[in-house]
Amino acid sequence: MPAPFKIIDLFAGPGGLDVAAQALGIPVASGIEWDDDACATRMAADLPTTPGDVRAFKPRDFPDANVLAGGPPCQTFSVAGNGLGRAALDQVLEFANRYAEAQPDSHEDEFEKIRDDLKQLSDERTGLVLEPLRWALQAIFDGRPYQAIVLEQVRTVLPVWQAFGEILKNKGYVVADPEILHTEEFGVPQTRRRAILIARWAGNGAQLHGMPKLPAPTHHRHKKGVARGVGAPHSFPG
């Protein structure tokens, strides 16, 4: 019998992901967030919260968490943002490769070097997209790999998630091919597009109970000229 899931949520914000997890009966070990207002919102909703910088923590600080989730800051990658993250995409991928090449007996020193080198980026928020990878690899080195990983970001981060996916496969994970999902296809009244990565641990003889896969749409994709109610009469009240 697999251990019950318990989530550590990086860049947890006011708690949207955690509210959904709890609605599904999945407990949250904690959500790490450094914005005071977001933390206040989480605490008002009785969501486990750790105020602070994700970079200051490690998996061993949350030993009961076995699911890693997160949506790093998107400002430098989004179309509406300053574009610095998109311009630095090649650098981000190089840093990801450096993380992947770290060795068990020297990874702590290498991770510190990478953190120092990330200061070269013109906006520190760009480098935060690498934090979920650091957490995943650190957990493996600690001998307590996360049983599942769920990451989301704006669509321009898809190449980063694809690189993460290949790295995780080489470390013992089974990964659903990262894709861009359209929020309106899942009943959200917005036309946002998000790059999603889902992975399950399969190393060291771990037994998988179902392969990871992205969800199938429940609604139609928005198209200009098509009535919003077409194809989904069951979604209207009465």
The first and second tokens of residue 61, run together, are 């600080």
Give 206 or 19, the one with higher predicted confidence.
19
Supply the pLDDT for residue 148.
Answer: 96
pLDDT in tens, 64-86: 999 999 998 866 665 555 555 55
Burial (0-12, 13-18, 19+ Cβ within 10 Å), 131: buried
Over residues 208-224, the mean pLDDT reads 82
Smallest CA-to-CA distance from 152 within 76, 35, 68 is with: 68
What the chain holds in terms of domains, given with CATH numbers, is 71-235 (3.40.50)
Choice among 74, 129, 157, 158 that is catalytic: 74
| pLDDT of 238 higher than 50 | no
- The pLDDT assigned to 176 comes to 95
Answer left, alpha or beta for residue 187, where phi above 0 means left and psi between -120 and 50 means alpha: left
Task: Please tell me the pTM assigned to this model.
Answer: 0.88
pLDDT level of residue 207 (50, 70, 90 thresholds): low
- Give pLDDT tens digits for 11-67: 999 999 999 999 999 999 999 999 999 999 999 999 999 999 999 999 999 999 999
Q: Is 74 a catalytic residue?
A: yes
Q: How confident is residue 125, by pLDDT bands cut at 50, 70 and 90?
A: confident
146: left (phi over 0), alpha (psi -120 to 50) or beta: beta
With contact defined as beta carbons under 8 Å apart, do 195 and 154 qualify? yes
